[in-house]
Amino acid sequence: MAIIKLGNVQKEVPNRLFTSVRTDNIDPGYFYTELFGSFPVYRCEYIVHREDEEDEDDEDNTIYATIFNDLMESGNFTPIYYVYGNKRKEKSDGKNSLYANEFFVVSNTGDPIAINYSYGDFTILSHLGTQIIEETINKYLKKYTQESNRVKCHIIVKDNDLYLDEFKIKVEGDLDFDMYNEGFEDIHNKIVKSLKEDENGLYMLYGAAGTGKTTYIRYLIKECATRKMKFVYVPSNLFGDFTNPNILSFLLNNKGCVFIIEDSENLVTTEDGVRSTAISDLLNMTDGLLSDAMNIKIICTFNTDTKKIDEALLRPGRCKCKYKFELLDKDRANVVAAKLGLKEVDKDISLAELFNPDQIFSETKKKKMGFKC
């Protein structure tokens, strides 16, 4: 057994577990159980924002590094490990300022409470109840919390393992339903209701390029994204790995996500009536046993006609919504053109054409719209 000193208390942990700190990513819940003899029943996942967290090149300005230093300076926590750059460490080296892009710290006052930050998830663990978690939040974390108007989406990164990284989307104002043809507001409300209430499902958004599919998804993320409902961008060529047994742990750790797959023609169409492996995987993930376990929703966008789509994907119950984005009819186009300060149009037109007027017709005056396409 290895001895770990937490303040004036000494804890024993198996040698193999202690050794794993130096070599591999460990399971904080497992380490917690070994230290305190009880599984951490209470988990609080916490996200903090700070308005001055703009300079991504300033590593010492990272909010999680600031919190890590705060925890160390309090004298109430001991790091089991932390990662500085790509170097894993087991104890503080005495520096006043440390950039920790991953860490696992444990209370050294005798209270069973631990804080883990890894790959964007900030988690507080305890088996005593929620009060001690709330006290920790108020004491060390809440002062850093500020509202952020930036919309966050995630992207799957494939290195040795899969993990999530986040990127920010600038979306100004609210969704203007004049940009879409009559009846689209009802479609939008149906999608939002389904994303919030249904446990799984498939959403098929298709139509010619430039008709507003990606623009719409930006606003959908803004309206629906929460800590419990992450939107994750999936490169179409990565989807084939999703049913690999090695990937299942990643999916289990990201239950309830909404996956976005753009340009997904190769995933949803059949060739001479032959169903591909990708389609079989998609069927199972959206309304099969795997979907029951993962609670996954998938938004697919594509440009091909639905006549080429495997009929099983369109089955009611699995397909929560199927909508074709078309050219904006002339009357609606003129409403949007008026808002943009453009001349009257005389034909149905795509949003891409409206937002690039110099290529279509001359402006009467330039006027900024409340969003970016």
Which residues contact residue 228 at a Cβ distance below 8 angstroms, ignoring those fewer than 6 apart? Answer: 256
Q: Where are the beta strands (DSSP E) in 208-296?
A: 231-233, 258-261
Distances (CA, A) of 347 to 178, 237, 331: 16, 37, 9
Contact 125, 32 (CB under 8 A): yes
Mean pLDDT of 207-230: 86
> Residues with Cβ < 8 Å from 62, sequence gap 6 or more?
53, 99, 101
Domains of the chain, each with CATH number or no CATH: 2-144 (no CATH), 153-325 (3.40.50.300)
DSSP E strands: which ranges in 213-338? 231-233, 258-261, 297-302, 319-325
Q: What pLDDT was estimated at residue 3?
A: 81
Confidence grade of residue 85 (pLDDT, cut at 50, 70, 90): low
Identify which has the larger pLDDT, 216 or 280.
Answer: 216
DSSP classification of residue 361: S
Length of the chain: 373
User: What is the per-residue pLDDT across 94-122, written as a single tens digit (0 to 9) for each?
Assistant: 444 455 667 888 998 878 999 888 766 77
**Tokens representing 262?**
């753009």
**CA dist., res. 192 & res. 207, Å (int):** 20
pLDDT surpassing 80 at residue 140: no
**Structure pTM?**
0.57
331 — pLDDT class (breaks 50, 70, 90): very high
Per-residue pLDDT tens digits for 14-28: 777 766 665 555 678
